[in-house]
Structure 1
Amino acid sequence: MKHLTIVVPEGQDNLSSIIGPYNIFSRANEYRRESGKGDLFTIRLAGISRKMDFDDGLFSIKPHVDISAIAKTDLIIIPSVDHNSEKAIKGNKVLIDWIVEQYKNGAAVASICTGAFVLASSGLLNGKHCSTHWEAAEDFRKMFGSVTLQTDRLITDENGIYTNGGAYSFLNLIIYLIEKYYDRQTAIFCSKIFQVEIDRQSQSAFIIFNGQKTHGDEMVKKAQGHIESKPQEKISITELSSKFAVSRRQFDRRFIRATGNTPLEYAQRVKIEVAKKNLETTRKTINEIMYEVGYSDVKAFREVFRKITGLTPLEYKERYNKESVVTI
């Protein structure tokens, strides 16, 4: 029998990302028993404290065992942690060292949402791809420059390390792992029982683009402000760089270093965020919205919109604006 360890880190802030995996894997075991087979996993919660309180003591969890009592496990799940990620990392050094040792001994490791900060601090994500909550992306990039962050991805799977996007999207990761370790039939059953959409790949449609402003490059901040103030205009990046008296090459380099996007990508994201809000809240046609954010070519607008959100403008409007009459 395999062993699944759901760790309970210090500073953990989301009870559901512990209870959810526990319940779904337990139900997968039950379904396997109903088909005449034994449990695939022994499931244990493990931490470094005897009890963890949540929501100002309203709820609490008592891990089955101390992490030091587990000599070997096959799969580790790291739940989300407090958004004060540096504090969470400092408070979990013993846990992090244990995860590294287990991975070296053959265990697979999966992180949920901001649990990626704990996983990345172990060094196990260096040179690999990873996802986390889109809202934490800027902080993650600053802290872990050797990890390739892909916030559009709902799930990453690389060399026995799994990560997922934000909040309750962890349910999709658990269904993914159920299929990986049990089989497709069990995954479909669990997806139906827990009503989780199976095979979802992206969290792009949920991302709210607010721009990356915590960097210290004042020139780039001014350029961002200029781009954001003119979503209806087709901005020339060459002219914008000249406005700040720097070469186009230097402008691009500084912009990418500060924001993680090229100036063109940033302008596209600003325009698409404005378009999304219009699609959500107005009865304007897609063509009207397209013109208002500086596009005149329907195909080009649709391609950029889909690249950023994972949906076409029509699909987005149908999903998020129930009151509108959708017309092109």
Structure 2
Amino acid sequence: MKHLTIIVPDGQSNLSTVASIVGAYEIFAGANAYWRKTGKKELFSIQLAGNSKKVKYGEGLISVQPEVDISAITNTTLIIIPPTLIRSYNNAAKGNQLLIDWIEQQYKNGAEIASICSGAFMLASSGLLDGKNCSTHWAHADKFRSLFPNVNLKEEKLITDEYGIYTNGGGYSFLNLIIYLVEKYYDRQTAIYCSKIFQIEIDRQSQSVFTIFSGQKLHGDEVVKKAQTYIENNLHEKISVEHLSSKFGVGRRHFDRRFIKATGNTPVEYSQRVKIESAKKALETTRKNVNEVMYEVGYSDVKAFREVFRRITGMSPLEYRGKYNKEIGQTA
């Protein structure tokens, strides 16, 4: 029988941590039950493991009692790391160092690892994500990049799967990751069964539509910050990289390199994301049509606007307005 370890982190966690622990446990238990029902043996034994006898969450509202101390597990097949609070992440990392060391050792022993939302911070602290793709909640992307520059963050991805390491986006999208893992370890039919029983959309691959772009400004490059502000204050203009680099007295190539290093985007990508974020808000809150919104954010080519909008959000402007504008709704 395979062994599943669900980590119970100690400190700097919240109710989302509990939801992820309970959700992962229940869905894998449901997959086991389905296999029993179809005449197969249970695939996984499941244990909650940590380094404390009891962990309190939500200011003591809920407590979780690990079934076993992490040190007692010498061999496991799959490890699930739930979210941790990011605002005090450095303290959380210190408090969970024993867990981080154990995770690293288990991976070397052949275990696979899946992180949920901000659980990617704990996973990245082990060094196991260096040089690999990773996802986390889009709201934590800037902080993650500043702490772990050697990790290839793909915050638009709902799930990444690389070298036996799985990561996923934010919030309750962890349910999609668990269904993905059920299919990986059990089979497609079991995943479909669990998706129907727990009413989870199967095969969802992107969290782009949920992203609220706010711009990466946790860097110390004042020239880039001024350029970002200029882009954000001149949405209606078609700003070229040559114009920006000239305006701030920096050579084109050097400006490009500095901008990418500071923000994770090229100047063109940054401008596109800022414009599309403004377009999204207009489509959500006004009755303006797509052309009106397009012109307001500096586009004159409908095809180009739609292509960029879809690439960033995963939806067309009309689909987005129909989904998120309550007043217009499906009549769009």
Instruction: Tell me the TM-score normalized by structure 1.
Output: 0.98
1:210 matched to 2:219? The reply is no
1:29 matched to 2:28? The reply is no
Aligned length: 328
1:265 maps to a residue whose letter is: E
Q: 2:182 aligns with which of 168, 178, 181?
A: 178
Match of 2:53 in 1: 50
Q: Does the 8 Å contact 1:286/1:327 carry over to 2?
A: no
Q: 1:143 aligns with which of 134, 143, 147?
A: 147
Matches within 5 A, 1:306-321: 306-321=310-325
Q: Report the aligned-residue RMSD.
A: 1.2
> 1: CA distance between counterparts of 2:227 and 2:105?
46
> 2: CA distance between counterparts of 1:268 and 1:236?
12
Q: Secondary structure at the match of 1:56?
A: coil
> 2: CA distance between counterparts of 1:306 and 1:113?
24
Q: 2:307 aligns with which of 281, 286, 303?
A: 303
Question: Percent identical across equivalent pairs?
Answer: 68
> 2: CA distance between counterparts of 1:52 and 1:162?
25
> 2: CA distance between counterparts of 1:253 and 1:172?
36
Q: CA deviation at 1:157?
A: 0.3
Instruction: Tell me the TM-score normalized by structure 2.
Output: 0.97
Unpaired segments ≥5 residues, structure 2: none
Q: Secondary structure at the match of 1:15?
A: helix
Unpaired segments ≥5 residues, structure 1: none
Match of 2:72 in 1: 69
Match of 2:121 in 1: 117
Deviations 1:199-258 (A, max 9, x none): 000000111011111211111111111100111111122112111111111111111111
Q: Secondary structure at the match of 2:80?
A: strand
Match of 1:41 in 2: 44
Match of 2:279 in 1: 275
Q: 2:98 aligns with which of 94, 100, 118?
A: 94
> 2: CA distance between counterparts of 1:170 and 1:114?
11
Q: Does the 8 Å contact 1:128/1:148 carry over to 2?
A: yes
Q: CA deviation at 1:296?
A: 1.0
> 1: CA distance between counterparts of 2:154 and 2:216?
15
Q: 1:160 aligns with which of 153, 157, 164?
A: 164
Q: Does the 8 Å contact 2:323/2:329 carry over to 1?
A: no
1:54 maps to a residue whose letter is: Y
Q: CA deviation at 1:322?
A: 3.0
1:29 maps to a residue whose letter is: N
Q: 1:259 aligns with which of 263, 281, 285?
A: 263
Q: Does the 8 Å contact 1:113/1:165 carry over to 2?
A: yes
1:126 matched to 2:130? The reply is yes
2:196 maps to a residue whose letter is: K
Q: Does the 8 Å contact 1:5/1:76 carry over to 2?
A: yes
> 2: CA distance between counterparts of 1:100 and 1:244?
45
**Which stretch shifts more, 185-194 or 45-54?**
185-194
2:23 maps to a residue whose letter is: G
Match of 1:78 in 2: 81
Change in CA separation of 1:288 and 1:326 when aligned onto 2, cut-off 3 Å: farther
Match of 1:224 in 2: 228
Deviations 1:101-128 (A, max 9, x none): 1111111000000100110111111111
> 2: CA distance between counterparts of 1:161 and 1:239?
42
Q: Secondary structure at the match of 1:72?
A: coil
Q: CA deviation at 1:325?
A: 6.4
Match of 1:2 in 2: 2
